[in-house]
């Protein structure tokens, strides 16, 4: 088998055996350093990522707010696999392969919409939104429709968020993780929200660069809009905060104490959980206060929506952060939520969807102004996209060498450590013998 992995600037040519080459590449990862170039640029590592990560783990793919009524659907592309996520007539969220059971035609083309039944455009086999085949023309009397329902994909919801897993044997820790996360999400009642805005971006970078960029605020000087409300202190402690940020730190400590008190008053969990790299479903939760008015992501931290989410009674409720491996992060505020999902398209292209949620009764133009609601994260997304694109250019350059993470990039290291451990586990699985 011919190997197309790029030459590593540190280790020379990789050998002729693809599995061995990938195992060697993974095995020589240097902790505390960015990955070697092929992790970001090679088709073989991209294929490995799809097999080892995206077909084996639970993926955040949609919010329930995108599926308010029976028949509402979204389609999701995970590598070569297209999935229909749809709300059925019993209001359950279902997921199916977007492949007709007749001769395989793609069924739905649109990214979202609403249907009565799922009808294949080719010969019009018609499926209920629960996946059952209802109708197929010109079949013999012996034709058994019950054998040709749509092929299900594992799906589950968690406090208003929809996850799918393509694996035959999903990670066995998701139930436990979900049970630990749910109390943090429950007060926001995300099942009672609506989509105020959604953007899709194709970023010019590998999916891991998108995730690594999200997992640190070392670069947050590049986000002037975000910094009007966000304390750029993630990763620092009282001992190592630099002098230039000392006054910001003092404000942060006071706001943190106020936020903790607000959580305690409302009996919401406040414990920070950081299990990013120690388990298959790596995750992290934490509350952080916002600067200025402390209410939302706007200039000065002012609120963006008159209707608060769920049972939140305090405008100054900061930002509840949830990070999930491999492909998502979430910001929950007192009056809106912004959630992000990442899906790889190719070694150098990544799909990033951002969704803004507000209370289901909030009225645009009355309770919120969409431009104000979306301004900070739209600007931040564009800036992050530019950071990712310039990093992709750099890691694809023969001059690239892996470099060291700073002390405030611990969550980047945790993401990469998690990734390496999952890929390593995948490569060590027994391989089917070829005769």
The answer to whether residue 145 forms part of the interface with ligand FES (CB under 6 A) is no
- For the bound state, the minimum distance from the C-beta of residue 122 to ligand FES, rounded and expressed in Å, comes to 4
For ligand FES, the closer of residues 104 and 403 by Cβ is: 104
Rounded Cα distance between 359 and 367, Å, is 10
Pairing of strands 349-359, 93-97: unpaired
Residue 113 φ/ψ, nearest 5 degrees: 160, -160
Nearest to 280 by CA among 160, 169, 430: 169
- Order across the sheet with 81-87: list the strands: 93-97, 81-87, 72-78, 112-114
Task: Tell me whether residue 179 is exposed, middle or buried, using C-beta atoms within 10 angstroms of its C-beta: 0 to 12, 13 to 18, 19 or more.
Answer: exposed
Rounded Cα distance between 67 and 70, Å, is 7
- For the bound state, the minimum distance from the C-beta of residue 399 to Fe ion, rounded and expressed in Å, comes to 24
Looking at residues 18 to 47 of the shown chain, list those that interact with ligand FES (rule: CB under 6 A): none
- For the bound state, the minimum distance from the C-beta of residue 121 to ligand FES, rounded and expressed in Å, comes to 8
For ligand FES, the closer of residues 52 and 100 by Cβ is: 100
Residue among 19, 123, 219, 246 that touches ligand FES (CB under 6 A): 123
The answer to whether residue 132 forms part of the interface with ligand FES (CB under 6 A) is no
**Binding at 11: pick from ligand FES, Fe ion, none (beta carbon under 5-8 Å per type):** none
- For the bound state, the minimum distance from the C-beta of residue 143 to ligand FES, rounded and expressed in Å, comes to 13
Q: Which residue is at the shortest CB distance from Fe ion?
A: 384
Rounded Cα distance between 303 and 314, Å, is 11
Rounded Cα distance between 98 and 96, Å, is 6
**Binding at 125: pick from Fe ion, ligand FES, none (beta carbon under 5-8 Å per type):** ligand FES
Question: What distances in angstroms separate CA 262 from CA 229, 273, 317, 397, one per listed residue?
Answer: 18, 19, 7, 49
Looking at residues 273 to 292 of the shown chain, list those that interact with ligand FES (rule: CB under 6 A): none
The footprint of Fe ion (CB under 5 A) covers 384
Chain center to CA of 394:
24
Number of DSSP helices (H) and strands (E) in the chain, helices first: 9, 17
**Binding at 106: pick from ligand FES, Fe ion, none (beta carbon under 5-8 Å per type):** none
Rounded Cα distance between 107 and 100, Å, is 6
Chain center to CA of 261:
30
Rounded Cα distance between 205 and 70, Å, is 36
For Fe ion, the closer of residues 72 and 384 by Cβ is: 384
Rounded Cα distance between 391 and 394, Å, is 5
For ligand FES, the closer of residues 104 and 404 by Cβ is: 104
- Order across the sheet with 126-127: list the strands: 118-119, 126-127, 133-135
Residue among 125, 340, 368, 377 that touches ligand FES (CB under 6 A): 125
The answer to whether residue 103 forms part of the interface with ligand FES (CB under 6 A) is yes
The answer to whether residue 263 forms part of the interface with ligand FES (CB under 6 A) is no
Residue among 67, 120, 357, 362 that touches ligand FES (CB under 6 A): 120
- For the bound state, the minimum distance from the C-beta of residue 105 to Fe ion, rounded and expressed in Å, comes to 41
Q: Which helix (H) or strand (E) holds 256?
A: helix 246-265
**Binding at 242: pick from Fe ion, ligand FES, none (beta carbon under 5-8 Å per type):** none
Looking at residues 62 to 101 of the shown chain, list those that interact with ligand FES (rule: CB under 6 A): 100
- For the bound state, the minimum distance from the C-beta of residue 384 to Fe ion, rounded and expressed in Å, comes to 4
* Contact residues for 416 (Cβ-Cβ < 8 A; gap 6+): 29, 34, 35, 208, 212
- For the bound state, the minimum distance from the C-beta of residue 319 to ligand FES, rounded and expressed in Å, comes to 46
Task: Find the part of the chain contacting ligand FES (CB under 6 A) among 64-72, 123-131, 221-229, 259-267.
Answer: 123-131
Structure token digits, residue 295: 């209410």
The answer to whether residue 102 forms part of the interface with ligand FES (CB under 6 A) is yes
The answer to whether residue 415 forms part of the interface with ligand FES (CB under 6 A) is no
**Binding at 102: pick from ligand FES, Fe ion, none (beta carbon under 5-8 Å per type):** ligand FES
- For the bound state, the minimum distance from the C-beta of residue 106 to ligand FES, rounded and expressed in Å, comes to 9
- For the bound state, the minimum distance from the C-beta of residue 223 to Fe ion, rounded and expressed in Å, comes to 6
**Binding at 384: pick from ligand FES, Fe ion, none (beta carbon under 5-8 Å per type):** Fe ion
Nearest to 221 by CA among 204, 211, 233: 233
Structure token digits, residue 56: 């084996």
Rounded Cα distance between 133 and 152, Å, is 13
The answer to whether residue 312 forms part of the interface with ligand FES (CB under 6 A) is no
Which residues of the shown chain bind ligand FES in the complex (CB under 6 A)?
Answer: 100, 102-105, 120, 122-125
């Amino acid at each position: 088998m011919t190997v197309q992995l790029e030459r590593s600037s540190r280790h020379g040519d990789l050998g002729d055996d693809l599995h061995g080459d990938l195992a060697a590449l993974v095995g020589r990862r240097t902790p505390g350093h960015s990955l070697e170039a092929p992790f970001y640029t090679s088709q073989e590592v991209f294929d490995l990522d799809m097999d080892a990560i995206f077909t084996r783990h639970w993926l955040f793919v949609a919010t329930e707010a995108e599926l308010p009524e029976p028949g509402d659907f979204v389609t999701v592309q995970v590598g070569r696999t297209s999935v229909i996520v749809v709300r059925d007539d019993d209001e359950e969220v279902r997921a199916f392969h977007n492949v007709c059971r007749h001769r395989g035609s793609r069924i739905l083309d649109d990214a979202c919409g609403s249907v009565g039944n799922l009808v294949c455009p080719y010969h019009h086999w018609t499926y209920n939104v629960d996946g059952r085949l209802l109708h197929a023309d010109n079949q013999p009397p012996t034709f058994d429709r019950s054998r040709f329902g749509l092929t299900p994909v594992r799906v589950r919801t968690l406090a208003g968020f929809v996850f799918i897993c393509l694996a035959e044997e999903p990670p066995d820790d998701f139930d436990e993780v979900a049970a630990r996360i749910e109390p943090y999400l429950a007060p926001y009642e995300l099942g009672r929200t609506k989509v105020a805005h959604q953007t899709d971006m194709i970023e010019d970078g590998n999916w891991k660069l998108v995730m690594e960029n999200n997992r640190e605020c070392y670069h947050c000087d590049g986000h002037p809009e975000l910094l009007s409300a966000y304390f750029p202190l993630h990763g620092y402690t009282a001992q190592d905060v630099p002098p230039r940020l000392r006054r910001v730190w003092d404000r942060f400590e006071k706001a943190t104490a106020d936020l903790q008190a607000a959580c305690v008053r409302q009996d919401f969990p406040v414990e920070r959980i950081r299990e990013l790299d120690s388990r298959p479903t790596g995750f992290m939760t934490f509350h952080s206060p916002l600067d200025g008015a402390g209410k939302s992501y706007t200039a000065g931290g002012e609120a963006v929506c008159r209707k608060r989410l769920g049972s939140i009674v305090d405008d100054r409720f900061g930002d509840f952060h949830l990070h999930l491996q491999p492909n998502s992060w979430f910001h929950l505020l007192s009056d809106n939520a912004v959630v992000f999902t990442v899906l790889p398209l190719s070694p150098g292209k990544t799909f990033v969807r951002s969704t803004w949620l507000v209370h289901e009764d909030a009225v645009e133009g009355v309770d919120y102004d969409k431009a104000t609601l979306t301004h900070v994260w739209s600007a931040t997304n564009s800036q992050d996209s530019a950071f990712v694109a310039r990093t992709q250019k750099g890691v694809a350059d023969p001059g690239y060498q892996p470099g060291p993470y700073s002390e405030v990039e611990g969550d980047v290291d945790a993401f990469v450590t998690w990734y390496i451990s999952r890929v390593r586990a995948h490569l060590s699985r027994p391989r089917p013998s070829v005769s």
